[in-house]
Structure 1
Amino acid sequence: MAALAATFSLVGGPTHAAALTTAGVGWKLTTQLGVTSASPSKTYTITFATETLRKRYTPLLGPAVAQVNAAGLHLKLGGVEPVNPAKCGPAYHVQITELYRPLGRAGFSQGMPCPNPPKGLGIGGIVAYDSEYWTGYPIATYKLRNTVVHEPLHVLGLDHPNADLNRDGKLADYECVATSYGNTPIMCSPNGGYKTTATMGKLTGYDTNGLRALLANARAQGIR
Structure 2
Amino acid sequence: MRTTLVGAAAVALSACALTAAPTQAATITTSGTGWKLVTQLGVTSISPSRQYTITFATAAMKTRYTPLLAPAVAQMKAAGVKIAIGGVETVNPSKCGPVGHIQITEIYRPLGRAGFSQGMPCPNPAKGVGVGGIVAIDSEYWTGYPIELYKLRNTLVHEPLHALGLDHPNALDKDGKSIDYKCVATSSGNTPIMCSPNGGYKMATNMGKLTGYDLNGLKALLANARAQGIK
Q: TM tier, shorter chain? A: over 0.9
- Which of 161, 183, 187 matches 2:190? 183
Asked if 1:172 is matched to 2:179, the reply is: yes
Secondary structure of the 1:129 match is strand
Asked if 1:47 is matched to 2:55, the reply is: yes
Secondary structure of the 1:202 match is coil
Deviation at 1:171, TM superposition (A): 2.9
Report the counterpart of residue 8 of structure 1 in structure 2.
Answer: 11
Secondary structure of the 2:84 match is strand
Asked if 1:96 is matched to 2:104, the reply is: yes
Confirm or deny: 8 A CA contact 2:14 2:96 kept in the other structure.
no
Q: Deviations over 1:45-77 (max 9, x none)?
A: 000000010001001000000000000011100
Distance 1:82 1:118, change over 3 A: same
1: CA distance between counterparts of 2:171 and 2:70? 29
Spell out the pairing of 1:56-205 with structure 2 (5 A cutoff): 56-164=64-172, 171-205=178-212
Q: Deviations over 1:17-36 (max 9, x none)?
A: 97410000000000000000
Structure 1 residue ranges without an equivalent (≥5): none
Q: Deviations over 1:184-214 (max 9, x none)?
A: 0000012200000100000000000000000
Report the counterpart of residue 30 of structure 1 in structure 2.
Answer: 38
Secondary structure of the 1:32 match is helix
The code of the aligned residue for 2:225 comes to A
1: CA distance between counterparts of 2:129 and 2:168? 19
Deviation at 1:172, TM superposition (A): 1.4
Structure 2 residue ranges without an equivalent (≥5): 16-24
2: CA distance between counterparts of 1:199 and 1:214? 24
Taking structure 1 as the reference length, what is the TM-score of the superposition?
A: 0.94
- After TM superposition, where is structure 1 displaced by more than 2 Å over at least 4 residues in a row? 166-171
2: CA distance between counterparts of 1:162 and 1:78? 31
2: CA distance between counterparts of 1:162 and 1:172? 6
Confirm or deny: 8 A CA contact 1:11 1:33 kept in the other structure.
no
Number of equivalent positions? 219
Taking structure 2 as the reference length, what is the TM-score of the superposition?
A: 0.91
Confirm or deny: 8 A CA contact 2:30 2:37 kept in the other structure.
yes
